[in-house]
């Protein structure tokens, strides 16, 4: 034991689940260190389920150069409302504490990669 106070863990892996309570730390704070890609999704949403492998594969391929934060919208309606989401999936990119880009719907891998490259 080091005697230091406990500090909230910083996400180190490429994919984390985020809720309203952890959004400030895991998305906004982390976006000051690296790009954070927030996937607002729902289990009942076929395009959301179809996009998941693309996002998770890219998160692994980029080796931590960005964090993929998954937000299940049914459990986090206030977050969806805060960003005025109208369709799912909605993917929002955060850098330096602010939204820098987004897309709605299932997009092909090359489209997602181009978007990432523009912000990494």
19 given a catalytic annotation: no
48 given a catalytic annotation: yes
**Of the listed 15, 45, 49, 104, which one is catalytic?**
45
Separation between Cα atoms, residue 57 and residue 12, nearest integer Å: 16
**Of the listed 35, 48, 67, 80, which one is catalytic?**
48
Bridge-based pairing of strands 90-95 and 98-104 is antiparallel
20 close to 78: Cβ distance less than 8 angstroms: yes
Catalytic residues: 45, 48
């Amino acid at each position: 034991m080091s005697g230091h106070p406990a500090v909230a863990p910083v996400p180190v892996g490429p994919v984390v689940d985020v809720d309203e309570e952890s959004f400030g730390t895991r998305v906004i704070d982390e976006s000051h260190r690296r790009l954070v890609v927030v996937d607002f999704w729902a289990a009942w949403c076929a395009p959301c389920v179809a996009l998941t492998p693309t996002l998770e594969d890219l998160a692994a391929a980029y080796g931590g150069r960005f964090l993929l934060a998954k937000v299940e919208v049914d459990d986090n309606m206030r977050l969806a409302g805060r960003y005025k989401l109208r369709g799912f999936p909605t993917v929002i990119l955060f850098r330096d504490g602010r939204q820098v880009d987004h897309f709605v719907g299932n997009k092909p891998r090359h489209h997602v990669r181009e978007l990432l490259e523009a912000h990494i």
